[in-house]
Amino acid sequence: MTEASRIQPIRIFDTTLRDGEQSPGVALNHQQKLEIAHQLARLGVDVIEAGFPIASPGDLEGVQRIAREVRGPIITGLARAGRADVEAAARGVEDAERPRIHTFIATSPIHMAKKLNLEPDAVVERAVQAVTLARSFVDDVEFSAEDATRSEWPFLARIFKAVVEAGATTINVPDTVGYTTPDEMRALFAFLKGELPEHVYLSAHCHDDLGMAVANSIAAAEGGARQIECTVNGIGERAGNASLEEIVMAFHTRRDVYHFETGIRTRELYRSSRMVSRLSGMPVQPNKAIVGDNAFAHESGIHQDGVIKARETYEIMNAELVGREAAVLVMGKHSGRAAFRKALTELGYTVPEERIGDLFTRFKDLADRKGQIFADDLRALVDARTDVPQAFGLERFQVSSGSDMQPLAYVRLSTPEGVREATATGDGGVEAIFHAINAATGIAPQLEIYRVQAVTKGAEALGEVSITARHNETSLHGTGVDTDVVAASARAWLRISNQIVAGLGKSRQVTQGTV
């Protein structure tokens, strides 16, 4: 057997927009979810779980929009094993190029007894009914056994055989509470592979409660899984899900050990990570594998010396392979529009002509303040673009403060009806600017989470402010980027105000499904 013939393809099922969005504090609106979905398609994922359509009318609409507009990957919606859920999922994905319905029910003794209050026979019956109904809408149906890793293996085999006979084409085995170990996961998949027909796709969905989600996912593949469910940056409920970028690069870097390959375009990994972090408001820890700021940094003198002599001494991957560094010219205030456009192209951005002018103006302004502009600065400029209708635009602001005075903020906003101005005080400059914007817009969201981090390096580094706020039971997220943290805060807060006017945000009317 040749080396090439031993390589097995692995499907990447991305659930950033469903399981990832269930992370506390994450509030993605329709436009943001669509933007991420398009990026996931560019990344090359095989399946996009676009949402949980029964959760709310807004979630259903979001799934429908992704199904209509994103081409390439399979688009799936999650559904509990019940008629209303399955019918909502069917409506959500009906316009997809490649639709799938993903239905689930719990199978562990504790879940069946304490949560469902159902006997095992009733659980099997409900699962079969759900899959049968789903198959009446689509040809591609996935079935998940919630809390599978704490379920009894004979019962798993029984329910999986029943749903496969009813028409399920993919069988997912979730480690819902992050309880299992790699050895257990590998053995479970080997057992199921021997019990189920060869044409069935076995899938793994692992949570990271014990820090083993990636290891368990890889072990599942070794046991026979041919689909892995994961999220960008590993975001998700509690401690998160298996990290897409870590799984993909483990297979790529250690193909000699694992003999698996994915269809992921690895150079899109870093861009995907940055986008999800920016829109979700969840920063990536500096020491995060593959996409963290320190992943390719070398502080130790011995390490630095080794890398200078031969990069492979301390780097097992090339930073360019994951899109971390591109061959971009060092830009400055004398750089022209052609060089600016070329740099964006080399970073993988396709920017419409009508947006180049605004971006170039902001680039020149940043260059005047910062001097040299590097790849991360350009990424931050493009990623901070506005994707929300602008009812209010920030024309001017000023904050006065001192040791013996309460901070006072002034803002001047543009609106379709003309200019609005307001002043307000606060405990600090940021709070004062928020109060002034509230006074000018007549909108007063409730701040829930405020984060600030440097997204580029140097004394004049760009700072990114990430805010989560609530307004009338709707959760909203806004970001702003500037060398001035107060300015970035004002942009982020104004973005939230514009989302409120546009009717965007995330609300939940029923409890989300957990797989």
d(CA 80, CA 88): 10
Judged by phi (left if over 0) then psi (alpha if -120 to 50, else beta), residue 41 lies in alpha
Task: Check the annotation: does 477 bind a ligand.
Answer: no
Q: Judge whether 241 is annotated as a binding position.
A: yes
pLDDT attached to residue 514: 75
Domains of the chain with CATH codes: 16-280 (3.20.20.70), 301-383 (no CATH), 393-502 (3.30.160.270)
SS3 497: helix
475, pLDDT greater than 90: no
Q: Which amino acid is at 415?
A: T
Share of the chain residues as helix, strand and coil, in percent rounded to the nearest 5: 45, 20, 35
- Burial class, 157, CB count within 10 angstroms (exposed 0-12 / middle 13-18 / buried 19+): middle
Q: Which of 277, 241, 216 is nearest to 15 (CA)?
A: 241
Angstrom distance (rounded) from CA 464 to CA 199: 48
Query: Is the pLDDT confidence value at 329 over 80?
Result: no
pLDDT reported for residue 343: 78
Q: Is 205 within any annotated ligand binding site?
A: yes
Q: Which pLDDT score, from 0 to 100, does residue 36 have?
A: 95
Average pLDDT over every residue of 483-496: 90
Which has more pLDDT, 379 or 457?
379
Helix 269-280 with 375-383: angle, nearest 10 deg: 50
What's residue 436's pLDDT?
A: 96
pTM assigned to the model:
0.82
Q: Which amino acid is at 99?
A: P
Better-predicted residue by pLDDT, 19 or 328: 19
What pLDDT sits at residue 286?
A: 86
Q: What is the pLDDT averaged over residues 446-465?
A: 80
